[in-house]
Structure 1
Amino acid sequence: MSVLLPRPVIDALGGGDALNSRITDFQAALAAHRLTEGVAAPVEDPLVESLARSGEAWAAEPAPEAPPPPAEPEPGPMRKIAALAFRRRLGPERLAAITIAAAAALRADPPDATLQVMLDNLTAARFVTLDDAETVAGLQHLRNVGLLDEDAMAAAIADGQPGEEPV
């Protein structure tokens, strides 16, 4: 059986190799001292002396288990969704109404391209950031012209759901 030594104690004595050397050297000094008279006995660190005199083997205590890695933080709400997912939130009937209103606004005197530009931007986009100022302003414009009510606006900017991630 081995004497288990804490790693900090081993390190304080110079490390494992140094501790073994000190034990061996002290055992040799003790053996040489037995052949002398009137000479003071060799002295070493008490732990080294104890191990040298007992002849017991020593071993380092096992290293403590590493703590588990910190848990992954819970993902925050999804605030960026695929453009198609955003269009689906508006629904086909509402998108049709917006498209018709955009065409009528382009024919008006004076023409207003605001709705058409919004539709073009949405068509060109790969994703929609739900907190983006342009997104919120566009939805507010749709509400102001009567194409979107408060409930539909809230649903359009609600947190993203699985399957709505941009690709």
Structure 2
Amino acid sequence: MNAGPDRPEIYFRAFEYGEAHESLLVVMRASAQAEMPDHPDMIPPPGPELEPANRGAYLVAYANRRPAASGGYRTYPGDPTGETAEIVRVYVNPGARGSGVGRALINELEEAAKDDEYRRVVMHLSDNQPAAKALYEILGYRPLPGVSPDEGPGGRLTFAKDLTE
């Protein structure tokens, strides 16, 4: 992505999830855990579900050559057809928020999911993440009431987007 007067130069690199969090993203992981200590996404996934061999991916977004955000997708277990990807482990460093890197990361994840022949994407977020919720709604995500078992105050909300439109 081209840099402008108010926008950083953004590019993406695919990583193995565990490798990235054990090396490159140690500082970002610590920041995320401090900011969201009880968030379910702070627990590493139980297997290689974010790997290309399993129709998954994990990307790191760099802004001005520094890791600024990360996130991935996997096959959504709630769709037996295998046509839905679940975007997971999205985090934007506090210093990079508002720069466009979060939006660029979500767009890149959606494009990669389309390339993996997914037709829809879903994502879950805490109801105490109003900035993330606003971004996802701007990007065309719509709430799916009744999907998250722990919906409600302090719970998680589920959003979805059709990738075929």
Compute the TM-score of the two structures, normalised by the length of structure 2. 0.25
Asked which structure has the greater RCO (Cα within 8 Å, sep 6+), the reply is: 1
- Higher helix proportion, which one? 1
Compute the TM-score of the two structures, normalised by the length of structure 1. 0.25
- Higher strand proportion, which one? 2
